[in-house]
Amino acid sequence: MTTMTSLLSASYQAFLSEAPKHAEVWMQAVQDLGGASALDKKTEALAYLAVLAALRLESGVPFHVMMAKNAGATRDEVISAVLVGLPAAGNTVVQSLPAALRTFDQSDDPTTR
């Protein structure tokens, strides 16, 4: 069974467990920024995927694919989000595509939502 927590990278899990006070402050900032956003949850999740792909932060892709999928994103929308940075960031964004698709496709189990 896949859970959202199991989709976190090992480094982020270490951050949460080994630096809980820092993680608490960080998560509060993340929540506050999310609350300030004018984007709906699906659009925000897809935009976040685009940023992860452009910055080559593949370890965060699985978790954020599920965030997008749980917000109603389709497989094609996830693909488009990963690839939207092609003109600006180049073909390095395609490195995130396999992890994004693998996560999206393996998450058809309702226990992952």
pLDDT bracket for residue 113 (50, 70, 90): very low
User: Which of the pair, 6 or 108, is modelled with greater confidence?
Assistant: 6
How deeply is 41 buried, as exposed, middle or buried, from its count of CB atoms within 10 A (0-12, 13-18, 19+)? middle
Domains delineated in the chain: 5-112 (1.20.1290.10)
pLDDT score for 49: 97
pLDDT score for 111: 43
Tens digit of each residue's pLDDT (9 = 90 or more) over 63-90: 999 999 999 999 999 999 999 999 999 9
Tens digit of each residue's pLDDT (9 = 90 or more) over 28-72: 999 999 899 999 999 999 999 999 999 999 999 999 999 999 999
pLDDT score for 112: 42
